[in-house]
Amino acid sequence: MESDDKKLYTPKYVQIEDHIISEIRNGRLKTGDRIPSEAELVRMFGVSRITVTTAIKELTARGILVRRQGKGTFVRRDDPEISEETDGFSAAQAGSAASASRTIAFGSGIRLASPEKAEQKPHMLLENRIISADPVLCRKLGLDAGSYVYQIVRCIRDGGKTSEMDFTYIPLSVCGGHTFDCAELSTSLIHDYISRNFPEKPTGVDIYLQPELTGDIDVSMMTGEGDGPAGMPLFFWDTVVRRGKKVLAVTTTASKLYQGMKFLTFEIPALP
């Protein structure tokens, strides 16, 4: 049962998606069944037609629904746990792919370059501890108010100065009694670490630019080195590691904005 706090901060179109997925999981909607029309969903949830259309487009893009012109929208598959990144593969295969840090293939043939080609640098582990999640973090992780999480703080130093800091949060229900390997944390991306060490394997990673920050984030070691916000502004983003829609971890990254800074690397394969 979702808490009232979680529902309050969950967008309406996501609530509609969750309702349809719940109907599929509970067996009330099966493969080939027609879902309620957009007009019916508008009445059920008291939202606009645009909100309903957004939800249906999302589920269609993920391969859970299929739209048939003039006939309606139908259930395409009965396993909504498999996300859009792993459509056609098993969850185990998806976890293995994430663990190996392989390139991610898109339908157009464009690929995200591997971390090695993205010039991945080693992290220095600054702190790892259990903390109480504030309301912002609870919303990001989908947790009840007052929940506890495991926090990992890392940084990257370049030329003797801190160029980047990572604040990672993992729900205790995900990591359980795991003892974190400090050496592995200095060389691993978080989704790789989770894939290798936890029973729930990631199937997707989302990036949110300029997110709302949690109250525990302290970047004074970056801004106190003479080239902080006055001379070199900081840029923040969230990396959300998930299995289906369940959030396994959130990392908030603070980085100095260098001129010509590379954020993502794409590879476009040459035509034969």
pLDDT at 169 over 80: yes
Q: Measure the CA angle with vertex 227, ends 225 and 232; round to 5°.
A: 145
In a domain, 81, yes or no: no
Neighbours of 203 (CB within 10 A): 26
In a domain, 85, yes or no: no
The tens digit of pLDDT for each residue in 96-149 reads: 333 333 333 333 444 444 444 445 567 788 888 899 999 999 999 999 988 999
Helix (H) or strand (E) holding 65: strand 65-68
Task: Assess contact for 114 and 94: CB atoms under 8 A.
Answer: no
Domain of residue 181: give its range: 124-267
7-16, 65-74, 86-95, 154-163, range with the lowest pLDDT: 86-95
At 227 the pLDDT is 46
At 102 the pLDDT is 31
Identify whether residues 152 and 50 lie together within a single domain.
Answer: no
In a domain, 65, yes or no: yes
For the chain, the average pLDDT equals 76
Identify whether residues 134 and 65 lie together within a single domain.
Answer: no
Domain with residue 13: its CATH number is: 1.10.10.10
Identify whether residues 64 and 138 lie together within a single domain.
Answer: no
Identify whether residues 145 and 208 lie together within a single domain.
Answer: yes
In a domain, 110, yes or no: no
In a domain, 100, yes or no: no
The type of residue at 234 is L
Higher pLDDT, 211 or 259: 211
At 1 the pLDDT is 43
pLDDT band at 258 (very low <50, low <70, confident <90, very high): low
In a domain, 112, yes or no: no
Q: What is the largest CA-CA distance in the chain?
A: 63
Q: What are the φ/ψ torsions at residue 124 (nearest 5 degrees)?
A: -100, 120
